């Protein structure tokens, strides 16, 4: 069932993006990537995406700003933001979850599963 879940991963940095994609794939998600907010919005317009995982700090449009745009176009699409910095942005409420990057891969996957479950996209609690 997880295999049917498609996650859009957004990050301006290539290595972290690939690694994050691999981790999520390892966990059983299907992953598509975008290296900018613009690219992410385009992907959303053409593809079916169940959840967006985006970095918060990106040049140009930030994660929360992207979340805002996504919510405008796809109100029910859950957005999980990752941040390496120690502050929560004021417009954080556009995101469904705001997670520290150093929580680690397992925690990330658990958080995503949690959100998906909450949204009814996943019905199964156990993912591993």
Can you tell me which of 1, 4, 22, 124 binds other proteins, judged by CB under 8 A? Answer: 22
Strands 79-83 and 51-55: parallel
19 near other proteins (CB under 8 A): yes
Can you tell me which of 42, 47, 103, 124 binds other proteins, judged by CB under 8 A? Answer: 103
Give the ranges where 53-126 is alpha helix by DSSP (H): 63-73, 105-118
Contacting range for other proteins; rule: CB under 8 A; set: 1-9, 14-22, 37-45, 46-54: 14-22
3-state secondary structure of 55: strand
Residue 3 burial (10 A CB sphere; 0-12, 13-18, 19+): exposed
Contacting range for other proteins; rule: CB under 8 A; set: 28-36, 58-66, 77-85, 110-118: 77-85
């Amino acid at each position: 069932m997880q295999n049917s879940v498609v996650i859009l991963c957004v990050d301006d940095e290539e290595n972290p993006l690939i690694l994050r994609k691999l981790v999520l794939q390892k966990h059983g998600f299907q992953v598509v990537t975008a290296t900018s907010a613009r690219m992410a919005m385009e992907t959303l317009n053409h593809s079916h995406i169940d959840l967006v995982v985006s970095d918060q700090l990106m040049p140009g449009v930030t994660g929360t700003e992207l979340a805002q745009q996504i919510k405008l176009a796809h109100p029910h699409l859950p957005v999980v933001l990752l941040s390496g910095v120690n502050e929560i942005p004021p417009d954080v409420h556009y995101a469904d979850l705001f997670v520290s990057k150093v929580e680690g891969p397992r925690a990330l996957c658990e958080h995503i599963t949690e959100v998906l479950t909450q949204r009814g996209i996943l019905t199964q609690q156990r993912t591993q």
